[in-house]
Chains A and B, each alone.
Chain A
Amino acid sequence: MVDIKKPPVDAVLIGFGWTGAIMGMELTGAGLKVVALERGENRGTSPDFAYPRIADELTYGIRHKLMQNLARETLTIRHSPWDRALPYRQLGSFLPGEGVGGGGVHWNGQHWRVSPEELRLKSQITERYGKRFIPEGMTIQDFGVSYEELEPFLDQFERVCGTSGQAGNLNGTLVEGGNPFEGRRSREYPLPALTDVYGATLFARAAKELGYHPFPEPASNASRPYTNPYGCQLAPCNFCGYCERFGCYLYAKASPQTTILPVLLKKPNFELRTQANVVRINYDSQGKRATGVTYIDAQGREVSQPADLVVLCSYQLNNTKLLLLSGIGKPYNPATGQGVVGRNYTYQMTGGVQVFFDKDKPMNPFIGNGAGGQVIDDFNGDHFDHAPLGFVGGGYIGVIQTGGRPIQQMMLPKGTPQWGSSWKQAIKDHYLYTVNIQTHGTVMSHRDNYLDLDPTYRDVFGQPLLRMTFDWKDNDIKMTQYVTSKAKEIAAAMGGKSVEVKMKQFGEHYDTRIYQTTHNVGGAIMGNNPQSSVVNRFLQTWDAHNVFVMGSSVFPQNIGYNPLGLAGALTYWSAKAIRTAYLKSPGPLVSAGSV
């Protein structure tokens, strides 16, 4: 029962994080009247992330002040289709953002592209290793768009963010000091790489001695003062160590606030409404188009916002949930393998090796930058021969020292007592003298890992929670054990006193309590076939030509890198299709019959 009906607009954006800001900029630039609806509150560098108040580990790092309030809405999680799903009651494994800027406020700034072959992974594996190399139950697919098509947009997003890095492949020519495995770049990064901290230097030296190819991790923490193409200004990162989970006080980390909003929020054809929680996309199934959205405002009133174009820019989980609640697209059924909305949910596989040093070598972990450091890509993507190894996927390995915040980031040797005088002695002995090498790798999609609606639990609006069915599969355990063993090899050559490996074991269940990245992907995947995807290669839903879905929702499986660089590029790619093709002739951009 709608309380308020708003006048129609050209486009409504659901959610106002990175993809909302990009799409807002693009569509207003095309002259559209755009309304963005964000469930959370407005936030800005001043006053919300001001120095020194933001340097408060407890409030932001542990109590998660900048993240989603699960009391209002969460999801349920189970390991298999035969289990009962229970609510994710506390934040742990992943930390969705809430409020203007979304996760773009509190991410680390690790800004990668994508390995070209990962965009066509199924074809690649089939061609190189044969169809039978893909195990039973694994449902990987091609994205439907190529690296070459995306290259200009990957470049564009880097320029908006002021990404600091060192190119490894400039128009086909390999460049010393960069990543030899990366996709071809048309030009250098907008800013030079950040300086390495001591631990990264030691890692790079050891990796090089072992014959690997270390390079600086691309960082959307500016290394110089930078003015982006919109005229927005960034300052150089000062390695404060309060990056992930925190807003940047220094205007150094790329976020919607620092790179886009100073211009977008002033545009006369743009309107932002906060505390506006979209509960439904209004879908005319006969006409195969949306008529707008319905949201609940701050006072709890139901508001209808008609629009010609609806773009889902909320978090990956919520995008999928909205499609399910609105009846757009056929929900996935794991028993039959039919349906598309909710299928191919995947995550990120992480592991690590800790290196403990003697007390004559302070590593100073508090000198932290969210991104940067030294990494190797030798064991990611299909950069190495998988034939004798029997798994699909890989990951990067490196030292990215994001900070030394004592509550969350304290590293102690296994077997250290957890309390008492011994614990106190241990933190004194080890806090300054430890380096973490992380491994960050793929998770392949599987028929039993998917999203649907929970039958029991509800959110504060009375709507069903999303239900996540997910567990680790052997393929990814094999991968992480292989990649982490390589990390251990490098760790042992770094001159430490001892090393300790942290990696998953076969049979281990997905643990929702331990933070492992907020890289949830899939659920509204892209592709060329409406039978196995929710959106086409322009991120337009097959079932409603005026509904587009952004973000990592569209990844058919996860890539080895952090997903935001690719998600941002896909948003620019989709926006261009909307501006240059869709608006001129609204309708399906890809005919369902074609491949």
Chain B
Amino acid sequence: MSRSEISSSRRDFLRTMVALIPTVSLAACAPLSALRTSPAQSYSLRYFTGEEWAFLRAACERLIPADENGPGAVELGVPEFIDREMDGAFGHAANWYMQGPFACALPELGYQSPLTPRAVYRAGIAVVDAHCRRTFGNKSFSELPVTQQDSVLTDLENGTLDFDNVSGKSFFGFLLQNTKEGYLADPIHGGNKNLASWKMIGFPGARADFLDWVDKDGGRYPLGPVGIAGTRG
């Protein structure tokens, strides 16, 4: 059956109107409160355990610390972002080709591990904490002083610290990449609370309209950022 015999213009237009004929009565709701306010209530973990969470918060804060330039990863909600990512398609490697056989390869041929990000974090946090306890007087990573935390992270980064169950470099790679993502992404994803990173660097965010500014060579853009949810932070 071909519907295209029908001149669809007026019919479709009226259909839009008809569709708006109330069939459901909704109490006036303000969905924005859920999107915009970030009350200081505790976050409910979706993936990480309490111990893993402690590691994550400590590690993220070393990667992007609070300092004179502004709040760090923890205050911006980066660990929350990462926990939410683990719960979604990214954490499950849903869009990666994960069929075997798996083989070692030149780095240029890309990721060839059967481990999903969820698995990498789980294994990585466990082995790094175990390593810290063995090496630093029975202290987990989150209990170490920051200088030691930094040296552990550096060792992971350059491959000095590596493990059988998971590649140290790979684990660090996810950690750093996801921390930066959580720091710089739109707040609807859980991080970058109050658009703090965007304010620091001068990125207008989701305003996505700069026609009036193209020809202002060398001029400073006057407006602060806005997020997808409408927050100006």
Please list the residues of chain A having a beta carbon within 8 angstroms of any beta carbon in chain B. 51-58, 62-64, 69-71, 74, 77-79, 84, 86-92, 195-198, 201, 236-242, 249, 266-268, 361-362, 364, 366-368, 404, 406-407, 410, 418-421, 423-425, 427-428, 431-432, 456-458, 509-513
Assess the A52–B210 pair: CB atoms within 8 A.
Answer: no
Given contacts A57-B186, A89-B111, A364-B221, 8 further A-B contacts (CB under 8 A): A55-B208, A70-B96, A71-B96, A90-B96, A238-B210, A240-B208, A249-B208, A511-B108
Known interface pairs A366-B204, A406-B184; A513-B189 also in contact (CB < 8 Å):
no
Assess the A406–B198 pair: CB atoms within 8 A.
Answer: yes
Complex contacts, B70 vs chain A, CB 8 Å: 424
Residues of B in contact, count (CB < 8 Å): 66
Complex contacts, A195 vs chain B, CB 8 Å: 214-215
Assess the A71–B189 pair: CB atoms within 8 A.
Answer: no
B14 at the interface (CB under 8 A from A): no
Assess the A431–B97 pair: CB atoms within 8 A.
Answer: no
CB distance from B130 to the nearest CB of A (A): 23
* Chain B contact residues: helix, strand, loop or mixed: loop
CB distance from B12 to the nearest CB of A (A): 11
Assess the A367–B214 pair: CB atoms within 8 A.
Answer: yes
Assess the A268–B4 pair: CB atoms within 8 A.
Answer: yes
B176 at the interface (CB under 8 A from A): yes
Assess the A512–B110 pair: CB atoms within 8 A.
Answer: yes
B57 at the interface (CB under 8 A from A): no
Q: In the bound complex, how far is the Cα of B216 from the Cα of A361, in angstroms?
A: 11
CB distance from A243 to the nearest CB of B (A): 10
Assess the A58–B189 pair: CB atoms within 8 A.
Answer: yes
Q: In the bound complex, how far is the Cα of B110 from the Cα of A525, in angstroms?
A: 28
Please list the residues of chain B having a beta carbon within 8 angstroms of any beta carbon in chain A. 2, 4-5, 8, 62-65, 67, 69-70, 89-90, 93-99, 101, 103, 105-112, 150, 153, 157, 176, 179-181, 184-186, 188-189, 197-198, 200-211, 213-215, 217-221, 226, 228
Residue of B nearest to A84 (CB): B103
Known interface pairs A63-B90, A86-B112, A407-B181; A362-B203 also in contact (CB < 8 Å):
no
Q: In the bound complex, how far is the Cα of B197 from the Cα of A428, in angstroms?
A: 9
Complex contacts, B101 vs chain A, CB 8 Å: 456
CB distance from B100 to the nearest CB of A (A): 9
Complex contacts, A54 vs chain B, CB 8 Å: 208
The residue that A89 contacts in the complex, of B2, B97, B153, with Cβ under 8 A, is B97
The residue that B180 contacts in the complex, of A51, A197, A407, with Cβ under 8 A, is A407
11 pairs, CB–CB < 8 Å, chain A vs chain B: A58-B189, A79-B108, A90-B110, A268-B4, A366-B221, A410-B184, A419-B176, A420-B64, A424-B64, A424-B65, A428-B201
Assess the B5–A268 pair: CB atoms within 8 A.
Answer: yes
Q: In the bound complex, how far is the Cα of B211 from the Cα of A237, in angstroms?
A: 8
Known interface pairs A406-B203, A512-B110; A88-B97 also in contact (CB < 8 Å):
yes
Complex contacts, B218 vs chain A, CB 8 Å: 198, 361-362
Known interface pairs A58-B185, A198-B218, A420-B63; A70-B108 also in contact (CB < 8 Å):
no
